Amino acid sequence: MLSRSRITGEIALPLGKQISGALALDSSLGRTIALFMTLLLLAGILTSAWTLDRSWQRTVEDTERNAVNLSISQARQAEDTFLQIELALTDVRRSLAMENISTIDAGKYHVLLEELTRKLPQLHGMFIYDAQGNWKATSYNHAPATANNGDREYFIYHRENPRGGIHIGQVIRSRTTNDLIIPVSVRINDPAGGFAGVILATVTIDYFRHFYNYFELEGRDLLAMMNVDGTAIYVRPFPDSVINRNLSSSPLFTRELTQKDRGSATWTSAVDNIERIFGFARLERYPLVVAAGYDKPALWSRWLRDSLPEIILSVVFSLGVLLIGSVVFRQVRLNVKNQVELATLRDELTSINHTLQTMALADGLTGLANRRQFELTLAAQLKHAERRGTPLSLVMIDVDYFKNYNDTYGHVAGDECLRRVGDALSTVPAGPNALIARYGGEEFAMILPDTEREAALKLAQHAVENVRALRIPHSATQVAAQIVTISAGSYTLRQAGSDLDALTIKENADKALYEAKTAGKDRALSA
C-alpha cells in the first residue's frame, strides 16, 4: 500500500510539472495569458449561456402571452355564448310571467322555443318544466307524454334556491338525443314568489368542441372550460371521459385563481400530469374558468432544435479559443527563459529600491525614523485625525546639556550616547501606529495617533524615566544626578488636517519642551 502511494505521488508530480511547463505557469506572462484565455473562454461560455437563457425566457414569455390571449379569447366566446342564452331564457320567462305554468299553451311556446333555438346555433334545445318537473313545452316537435326531469341537478338547484339568476350545471347526457349537453336554466316563480318551474336551454358539447378545433395546437397542448368549483366541462384534446372530472386540486384553483382572475403560470396539469405553460381567465358574468396550456417539454424540444446552430457556434468558438491558446502558450514557452531572467533582474532592482527607500527614511546613527519620515508621517496622521475626529499628540524631546557632553567626552562618545538614548526611546510602549524619530542633532520626537493629552504626558514621562535608567555618566551636566537626562514636552491637537495644524502642533510641543527645560530639565510637561 505504501509503495503504491509513493508511485502515485511520483507520477502525479511530473504530470503537474508537465502541465505547468506546457502552460508556462512558472512565469508571470504565462499565468497572465492563462488567466486571460480562461476568462475569455468563460466569458464566451457565459455569454452564450446568457443568450440562450434569454432566448428561452423570451420563448416562455411569448408562450405565456399567447396562452393568456387564447384563454381570454375563449372566455369572451363563452361569455357571448351564455349571454345570448341568458337573454333567450329571460325572454321566455317574461312571456310566462302572467300565465299559470300548468295550463300554458304548449303549441304556442313550442313555436317560441323553436324559433329561439333556430336563431342561436349554440342551442341544442329549450324546455319548460312545471314545479313537479313535468315537460310543459319544448323546442322539439314532440315531447314524451310522461317526461319528467324533477331528478336533474339543475331542477333541484332552482327548487331549493329562490334566486332567479342563471344556473350553469354540470354536463349531462340528454334523455332525448343522448348527446352530452350543458344545462343552462332559470327559475320560474309564481306571483307569490314561490317555485313554479324551470326554463332550460341546453348547449351541446360538440358546439365547443367545434369551436376549439379552430385553433391550431400541437399534440399535447390543451384548451379547457371548467366550472369555478373545478368541474371539467370540456377539455381538448382529451376524450369525453374527462368531462365532469374534478380538477380542484390543480394549482389553477388552489393558487392562481385565489390571487387574480386572469394571468399565466406554469404547473403540472391535474388531467395528465404533464407540465404546461398555462394562460387562464375567469368569466366576468358566469361561474366559469377557461384555460389554455402549452406542452412545456415539447416547447423545450422545439426551442432546442431551433437553437442548435447557436449552440454549435458556441462550441466552435470555445474550440477556437483553446486552439489559439495552445499557439500562444507555445510562443510563451519559447521566451520563458528570457522572461524569468527579466523577472529576476526586476526583483533585484525592486529590492535595491526598497533598501534605498528605507535608508532614505531612516536615521543612520540611531536607526530611528529620520526628519523626512517624521514630516511625512505627521502630515498623514493629521489627515487621519481630521477624517476620524480623533486626537493627535506630539512629544518633542531634547537631551539635556548635550553640548557639554560632546565638549567633555568627544563626538564619538556623543554619537554612542545618542544611539543609547534612541534605543531607550524605542522601548516606550507608544502603540503600533506611533512613530519615534530623530528630529535633528540631540532632538527626538514621538508622534502618537489617537492619544489623549494625559496619555501622551505619561508616555513622555516614560521616555524621561527610560533615559534616566540608562545612568550614562555626565560630569558636565547641571543635573544633580550627574547622568545623561532628557526633557520632553507634549501637545495634543484635535480636529487636525491642514498644513497650519502641523506647524501648530510642533510649535506647541516645542513650547512645552522649553517649559520643561526652564523648569529644571529631566522632566516632561504638557502644553
Condensed to tens digits (0 to 9), the pLDDT of residues 196-252 reads 999 999 999 999 999 998 888 888 999 999 999 999 999 999 999 999 999 999 999
Q: What is the predicted pLDDT for the residue at 248?
A: 93
Say if residues 479 and 402 touch (Cβ distance below 8 Å).
no
Q: What is the mean pLDDT of the chain?
A: 87
Residue 324 lies in a domain: yes
Number of domains in the chain: 2
Q: For residue range 331-371, what is the model confidence (pLDDT) as tens digits?
A: 766 766 666 666 677 777 767 766 566 667 888 899 999 99
Q: Alpha-carbon dihedral of residues 96, 100, 106, 107, nearest 10 degrees? A: -70
* Residues 236 and 378 both lie in one domain: no
Residue that is last in its domain, among 305, 330, 355: 330
Is residue 494 one of the residues assigned to a domain? yes
Instruction: Give pLDDT, residue 488.
Output: 96
pLDDT at residue 327 in the model: 75
Alpha-carbon gap, residue 69 to 118, rounded angstroms: 31
**Shared-domain flag, residues 377 and 313:** no
- pLDDT for 328: 72
What residues pair up with 198 in beta bridges, in sequence order?
129, 187
Whether the pTM exceeds 0.85: the reply is no
Domain contains 208: yes
Cell representation of residue 433: 501606529
pLDDT at 16 > cutoff 80: no
Q: What is the pLDDT of residue 386?
A: 87
CATH number for the domain spanning 520: value is 3.30.70.270
Percent of the chain at pLDDT > 90 equals 63
Domain final position from 307, 330, 353: 330
**Residues 74, 149 share a domain:** yes
Asked if 92 and 185 count as a contact pair (C-beta separation under 8 A), the reply is no
- CATH for 220: 3.30.450.20
For 303, the domain range is 68-330
pLDDT of residue 7: 41
Cα 94 to Cα 127, 188, 337: the distances in Å are: 15, 10, 105
Instruction: Detail the DSSP E strand segments found in 191-237.
Output: 195-204, 222-227, 232-236
